[in-house]
């Protein structure tokens, strides 16, 4: 039973190629369904792991990999399609994609450094979950209403704000006090 969250994470990994195939073959609603299903498995596996203490070392790696791979794939597909169709939203979604990639790279690098040097594991907090919920809503809207430039712009601005807030808050919570030298109060006197 304790492997159910890992199985759900593995299923989420399988959703990635299914989403890509459906999305680029014109089955946008079905691709959205796969994305919603993957998002539900993300919530469910996290709840099960915490509720029943089914947390495993494999799950600690598999869950975030499946999450990030799903997010990056969905936004990459939206960006590619916007570029292929010369959609007016292309510069917007490309900018969001680049910011998301940069944030994820910094989170992975920082998390690895904290784990390696300080044995600290970075875990999800409310601001990361807020960014994930906004990501879900924005990407669904971008897939289902790609022609709405103003709506896309407003939603993407909100998403970028949430992504940057999460990055700054994770930096403050986990990284800043570990590697930035603190001034010595005795030396200041």
pLDDT tens for each residue of 86-102: 888 899 999 999 999 99
pLDDT class for 186, splitting at 50, 70, 90?
Answer: low
Res. 20: pLDDT tops 90? yes
d(CA 150, CA 161): 17
3-state secondary structure of 83: helix
pLDDT at 79: 95
- Per DSSP, 176 falls in state H
Per-residue confidence (pLDDT) for residue 57, from 0 to 100: 80
Q: What is the DSSP letter of 125?
A: -
pLDDT in tens, 140-161: 999 998 888 899 999 999 999 9
Residue 49 tokens, joined: 């792991």
pTM of the model: 0.86
Helix axes 57-84, 90-113, angle to 10 degrees: 160
Q: How far apart are CA 83 and CA 175, in angstroms?
A: 36
Which residues, 6+ apart, have CB-to-CB distance to 132 below 8 Å?
67, 71
25 band by pLDDT with thresholds 50, 70 and 90: very high
- Quick one: 4-179 is in which CATH superfamily? CDP-alcohol phosphotransferase transmembrane (TM) domain (1.20.120.1760)
Instruction: Give the residue carrying structure tokens 């712009």.
Output: 153
Q: Which of 10-14, 55-59, 107-111, 178-182 has the lowest mean pLDDT?
A: 178-182
Q: Has residue 118 got a pLDDT over 60?
A: yes
Q: Which residues contact 153 (CB under 8 A, 6 or more apart)?
A: 89, 92
- The conformational region for residue 2 under phi > 0 = left, psi -120 to 50 = alpha, else beta, is alpha
What would the pLDDT profile of 36-48 be if each residue is shown by its tens digit? Answer: 999 999 999 989 9
């Amino acid at each position: 039973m304790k492997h159910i969250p890992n199985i759900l994470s593995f299923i989420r990994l399988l959703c990635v190629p299914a989403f890509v195939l459906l999305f680029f073959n014109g089955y946008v609603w079905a691709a959205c369904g796969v994305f919603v299903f993957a998002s539900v498995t993300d919530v469910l596996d996290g709840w099960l792991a915490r509720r029943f203490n089914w947390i495993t070392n494999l799950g600690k790696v598999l869950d975030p990999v499946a999450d990030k791979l799903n997010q990056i794939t969905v936004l990459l597909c939206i960006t590619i399609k916007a570029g292929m169709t010369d959609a007016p939203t292309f510069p917007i979604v490309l900018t969001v994609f680049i910011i998301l990639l940069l944030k994820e790279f910094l989170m992975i690098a920082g998390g690895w450094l904290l784990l390696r040097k300080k044995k600290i594991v970075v875990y999800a907090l409310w601001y990361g979950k807020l960014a994930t919920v906004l990501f879900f809503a924005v990407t669904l809207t971008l897939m289902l209403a790609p022609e709405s430039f103003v709506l896309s712009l407003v939603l993407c601005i909100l998403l970028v704000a949430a992504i940057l807030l999460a990055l700054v808050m994770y930096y403050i919570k986990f990284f800043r006090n570990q590697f930035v030298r603190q001034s010595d109060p005795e030396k200041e006197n």
